[in-house]
Amino acid sequence: MVVLVSRTGRHLQRYNKDRRLVVGCIPYRYKDGKDWAVDDEFEVLVISSQNGQGMLFPKGGWELDESAKEAASRETLEEAGVLGNVERELGRWRFKSKSQEIFHECYMFPLLVTEQLDLWPEKNVRKREWMTVSEARKVCKYWWMKEALDKLVERLMPPSLDDNEDVSLHSVS
């Protein structure tokens, strides 16, 4: 069962000293690509900020009663209206809050989307859009989210083959 109301309040909010802990996801899905180019292989889902000024990836507060992956999944459902498999952490970034005089520490995760909902808690305040990695890089408003996207691309792309590398298989007797 999917709850169609966002959590509110900060009484369960996690902090690390003076930094608010937040989590986020880069929702992605595979496309039918033929040439292994990043833009042909997969696309990512970006959402508008609540005030409509710029695009970003879903993120929000990590609360005391949930794991980092649970919080990331919840935030992605609330803000982007997608469900999926939260994968291994991409990294941790520190940044200054745009609205307060505090710093945030954000843990970002990839989320392989398995379901896109027609109704979700923040549907009336956010737009969502699937786009290529290069398009997302252009519209994403935060430097640290672009770095997380780069880490996702690095993780998902197949290893490049050196032209001089012997890729033939040898049987072992």
Q: For position 37, what pLDDT does the model report? A: 55
CB 93 within 8 A of CB 106: yes
Segment 10-57, tens digit of pLDDT: 567 778 887 889 999 999 999 864 444 555 688 999 999 988 788 999
Higher-confidence residue of 17 and 150: namely 150
CA distance 114 to 9: 29
Q: For position 104, what pLDDT does the model report? A: 87
Lowest-confidence pick of 48-52, 73-77, 132-136: 48-52
Q: For position 172, what pLDDT does the model report? A: 42
Higher-confidence residue of 4 and 62: namely 62
- Which conformational region is residue 9 in: left (phi greater than 0), alpha (psi within -120 to 50 degrees), or beta? left
Q: Where are the domains of the chain?
A: 15-156
Q: Average pLDDT over the chain, rounded to whole?
A: 84
User: Which residue(s) pair with 82 in the sheet?
Assistant: 116
Report, as an integer, the average pLDDT of 68-94. Answer: 97
Q: For position 170, what pLDDT does the model report? A: 41
Higher-confidence residue of 6 and 41: namely 41
**Helix boundaries (H) for the chain:** 38-41, 68-80, 133-139, 143-156
Using only the alpha carbons of the chain, give its radius of gyration: 18
Q: For position 95, what pLDDT does the model report? A: 87
Topology at the third CATH level for domain 15-156: Nucleoside Triphosphate Pyrophosphohydrolase (3.90.79)
Segment 156-170, tens digit of pLDDT: 887 765 544 544 444
Report, as an integer, the average pLDDT of 110-127. Answer: 96
